[in-house]
Amino acid sequence: MEEKKHMVGGISRKTLERLPIYHHYLEHKLLKEGTETISAPSIAAELQLNEVQVRKDLAMVSRNGGKPKMGYQVTELIKDMEEFLGYHNNNQAVLVGAGSLGKALLSYKGFEQYGVKIVMAFDTDGRKVNTKIGGKMVLPFEMLENHCQRMNIHIGIITVPAQSAQDVCDHLVAAGVRAIWNFAPIHLSVPEHVLVQNENMAVSLAALSKYLYEAEKEGRQHTKEEDD
């Protein structure tokens, strides 16, 4: 039910979240180990996912489908998955907010592997403007719309404080951006045609903290039962 509510291009958001997990497992484990074929049940068991869902996901991606008793050719499935996800499209992106997090993202070299290339950044801080971070030029924020429209940029990355995020988002949408990767801890309002992917670190840290708390509480309970 949840997957039907959040669709991107006819594909559920949950499926899009699982596909990179499959890809990483295939490329960084099976391929390196020299494994030639793999079945959907084996992938599901290894990644602790629902077997039926894995079958559906792979059937959607694979051009040839799995063969009975043999499964999928690992190299072919990797290629099909990369084509499906657009890893070779090399979509250009801009980043707004060249603070500590922005600098880290600008300096990271791995995004191009996933079809995204950050080409420039924008900031309102005069001390950062006209400098380079990770080889990318930081330009004045007021130049954002002109550059995005001229270069036909479709992806925007927001790494500004929460109070500035909606204004930045509005400028990106006005510039023609259709997908936004948001690191600001705030809900963004966008038109229906714009996709927002939120990375809420506060929520993730809270989940980790809660998990550790429950694990510690369970450990104390076991210890008490053993003492009794």
Residues 6+ apart with CB under 8 A from 110: none
Looking at the structure, do residues 109 and 199 belong to the same domain, yes or no? yes
Indicate whether 194 belongs to any domain.
yes
The model's pLDDT over 86-127, given as tens digits with 9 standing for 90+, comes to: 776 668 999 999 999 999 999 998 898 888 999 999 999 999
Q: Specify the CATH number for the domain of residue 154.
A: 3.40.50.720
Looking at the structure, do residues 129 and 30 belong to the same domain, yes or no? no
- The pTM for the full model equals 0.69
Sort residue 39 into left (φ over 0), alpha (ψ -120 to 50) or beta.
beta
The model's pLDDT over 161-202, given as tens digits with 9 standing for 90+, comes to: 999 999 999 999 999 999 999 999 999 999 999 999 998 777
Indicate whether 208 belongs to any domain.
no
Indicate whether 226 belongs to any domain.
no
Q: Cβ atoms within 10 A of the Cβ of 62, count?
A: 18
